[in-house]
Structure 1
């Protein structure tokens, strides 16, 4: 019921965390008089394209104009900004799993976080929020604001794993066919598409990995004690994904290079055989052309055995050429 009412204001989700792994939804109207106990935190998830959401952020959120400008930018890259009062701005990217979307067309989530409040803004639907609400319903969800932020980052990272694995499997198939079939030709369009997707992922994952590393090193006072370990683990996972993406690009280069080398070898072999064939028949063509001239004085034209002698001469020359080519290892 609250979600339907809140959606009219651009508020996708609104929950008060009880500090024990559960959370209760609240209405948009209740935000004005919301009083949090020390163990409680509030999470507000907004649709940043909604005019009323943008208006609330600027007029009622209590955030500075500079912070609102950053949160409402049309386009941005992964970044982290620590603000006075131990407040944190975090911009993250994740794989787009919405129907009809291209996975590497990354979704963006923008987060403002403090000790008892976390605001997140999205443009496209974010699947992480649905799973987050299910965990709260079971009483096993994040307990404080820092854990909500960590959960969103972890969910975005999990979805990258499946996409990187999918790209790697496609390269495996091409390499397997290339090894088992001498005449197999890799799909160049597929190879270029995978390389383009890998480059697009690296563009956003590299700065995001650095952000996780910064969060692991610089603890905020309101972070849970073991948050740094989880941020460090996310940093290591993104490092592994980036290494895998770089390896994918190198493997694509090797596949295309191998196919180009094979094609060059086939072309060279064909040209070699054509050259041998031309060299083999050149002397024979000269003799048959010479004997085919319609003039007097050709040897054997006045004897009944002339044709047979000409054929024996041609066969002899052909046999000598065959022996010579084999001795020279041309055949």
Structure 2
């Protein structure tokens, strides 16, 4: 019920965390008189493109104009910005799992957080929020704002693993066929697509890994005690994914290079055989062409054995060429 009412204001989700692993939804109108108790936290998830959401952020959120401008700017890469008062701006990217979208066309979530508030904005649907609400429904969700940040980052990172593994499996399949069948030709379009997607994914994951490292080193006062260890683990996981992506790009290059080398070898063998064949038949063609001229004075033209003499001559030339080519190791 609350979600339908809130959607008119551009508010996708609104929950008050009880600090025990559960959360209660609230309406947009209830925000005006909300008084958080000790141990409680507020999570608001807005549709960044909605005019009412933009208006609330600038007029009623209490955030500085500079902060609002950053949260609403059109395009941005993963970034981390510390604000006065132990406040935090965190921009993250995740795999696009929406129907009809390319996974590497990543979705963005922009987050403002302090000790008791987490305000996130998205343009396209984010599956991580649905899983988050399910955990609160079971009473096992994040207890504080810092855990909400950590959960969203961890969920976004989990989806990267599936995509990176899919890239590796596609390259594995091409390499396997390439090794087993000399006549197999790799799918160039598929390999180029994998390399393009890996490069696009790496573009956003590299700065995001650095953000996790910073969050692990620079622990804010309102972070949970063991948050640093989890941020460091996310940093390590993204480092491994980036290494896998780089390895995948190199393997794609090796597959395409191997196919190019094979094509060059096949072309070289074909041209070599054509050259040998041409060299083998060129002298015979010269003799038959010379003797085939319809002019007077052709030797043996008036004899009955002239044809056989020419055949013997050509046969001798064939034997001589065969011996010469074998001696020169051309055959």
Instruction: Give yes or no for TM over 0.5.
Output: yes
Partner of 1:50: 50
> What residue in structure 2 maps to residue 168 of structure 1?
168
- 2:280 matched to which residue of 1? 280
- Give me the whole-angstrom Cα distance separating, in 2, the residues matched to 1:301 and 1:107: 88
Aligned to 2:231: 231
Task: Name the structure 1 match of 2:328.
Answer: 328
**What root-mean-square deviation, in Å, do the aligned CA atoms of Structure 1 and Structure 2 show?**
1.4
State the alpha-carbon separation in 2 of the partners of residues 134 and 279 from structure 1. Answer: 78
Secondary structure of the residue aligned to 2:33 is coil
Q: Which residue of 2 aligns with 1:140?
A: 140
Q: How does 1:120-159 map to 2 (within 5 A)?
A: 120-159=120-159
Identify unmatched segments of 5+ residues in structure 2: none
When structure 1 is superposed on structure 2, of 318-327 and 136-145 the one drifting more is 318-327
- Give me the whole-angstrom Cα distance separating, in 1, the residues matched to 2:29 and 2:303: 122
Alpha-carbon offset, residue 30 of structure 1 = 1.4
TM-score, structure 1 normalization = 0.96
Residue 83 of structure 1 corresponds to which residue in structure 2?
83
Give the whole-Å Cα distance in 1 for the aligned partners of 2:193 and 2:88.
37
Partner of 1:190: 190
Confirm or deny that 1:99 pairs with 2:73. no
Task: Report what 1:260 is aligned to.
Answer: 260
Give the CA deviation at 1:304: 3.1
Q: CA deviation at 1:176?
A: 1.9
Q: Deviations over 1:210-237 (max 9, x none)?
A: 0000000000111111111110111111
Q: Measured at CA, do residues 299 and 68 of structure 1 come closer, stay the same or move farther in structure 2, by a change above 3 Å?
A: same
TM-score, normalised via structure 2 length: 0.96
Consecutive unaligned residues of structure 1, counting only runs of 5 or more, are none
Q: In the superposition, relative to structure 1, how do residues 301 and 101 fare at CA in structure 2: closer, same or farther (>3 Å)?
A: closer
Question: What are the within-5 Å matches in structure 2 for residues 194-213 of structure 1?
Answer: 194-213=194-213
User: 1:243-266, CA deviations, whole angstroms, 9 ceiling, x for partnerless residues?
Assistant: 111112111211111111111111
Distance 1:152 1:235 in 2: 14
Distance, in Å, in 2 between the alignment partners of 1:280 and 1:212 is 70
Partner of 1:317: 317
Partner of 2:248: 248
Which deviations, in whole Å up to 9, do the C-alpha atoms of 1:179-205 show, x marking residues without a partner? 222222222222222222111111111
1:69 and 2:69 aligned: yes
1:43 match: secondary structure: strand
Which stretch shows the higher mean deviation, 270-279 or 318-327?
318-327
- For 1:168 and 1:309, how far apart are their aligned partners in 2? 68
Q: Work out the CA distance in 1 between the residues paired with 2:276 and 2:205.
A: 56
